[in-house]
Amino acid sequence: MMDIAQFLQFPLADIIFSFRESNLPGKVIVVFLFIGSIYAWSIMVTKFIELRRARESSQRFLSSFRKEPNPVAVFLRRQKFGESPLYAVYEKGCVTLGAELEALGLNSDDLFMADFSADSQALSPHQFEQVRNVMERNVADQSLVLERRMGILATAVNASPFLGLLGTVWGVMEAFTGMAIIGTATLSAVAPGIAAALLTTVMGLMVALPSAIGYNLLAGQIAELQVQTSNFAKEYVDKVATMFLRSI
């Protein structure tokens, strides 16, 4: 009875045999796809870790932010949530808000004040729009940061099967050409060339399938963080408007 170890040796032996029988373009394509597979896996693993840390950091930041009635309290306490895209947007918004309030003659300590009823101590609509615009721009910037290297993964998903197909068609064409030159059509003459040609398709699918699954899972997590970042920006702007915007 065949044990598991013997069973697992057959696919590897087939791959090695097919690679040896491949022509030079086929070997180049297989090596390229193998390197591409390693690179795609490295992107997926590092991206999953990056997004997990971003989610955890964002949850801690939101918890701290929502405990404070003052929207800039977390910033002024120098709390850092460096892996959170929400905090990156928040930090830029607080810096802009501080600059606008300093133009009104307020210092950092004044940001903790609860009473901003005086016109000289509140943002004008134009200043408030400056804060809103900065938040919106940084939400877009953080979306680009979250999507970094996803284009490479999408390329691996789309290009790998076609690259494998190219190697297969090339190998089959060469196999039939050689058969025509030799003048024999026996299975032993054709089979090695066909097997070698099909190896590139196998490698292309081995790159594309995991990359497609990883891409879809990562895209879902990125979309969730993008929505969370956008919603937080609106929440922050609403708090700033309530506390600092000059009533008209």
pLDDT, tens digit, 9 for 90 and up, residues 176-193: 777 766 666 666 666 667
Question: For residue 90, is pLDDT > 80?
Answer: yes
The dihedrals phi and psi of 245, each to the nearest 5 degrees, come to: -75, 135
> How many Cα atoms occupy the beta-carbon half-sphere of 241 within 13 Å?
12
Helical pair 187-244 and 24-66, crossing angle rounded to 10 deg: 20
What are 245's strand-pairing partners?
123
Q: pLDDT tens across 104-123, in order? A: 776 655 555 544 444 445 77
Q: Do residues 202 and 29 touch, judged by C-beta distance below 8 A?
A: no
Mark out the alpha helices in the chain (DSSP H runs).
4-21, 24-66, 73-76, 85-102, 125-146, 150-182, 187-244
Answer whether residue 130 shows pLDDT above 80.
yes
CA 61 – CA 74 distance, rounded (Å) = 9
- Please provide the average confidence, as pLDDT, over all residues in the chain: 83
More confident residue, 58 or 117: 58
Top mean pLDDT of 16-20, 34-38, 121-125, 244-248 is at 34-38
- The region of weakest confidence among 13-22, 142-151, 168-177 is 13-22
The whole-number average pLDDT for the span 233-243 is 91
> How distant is the alpha carbon of residue 29 from its chain centre?
26
Q: Nearest-5° angle of CA 203, CA 50, CA 221?
A: 80
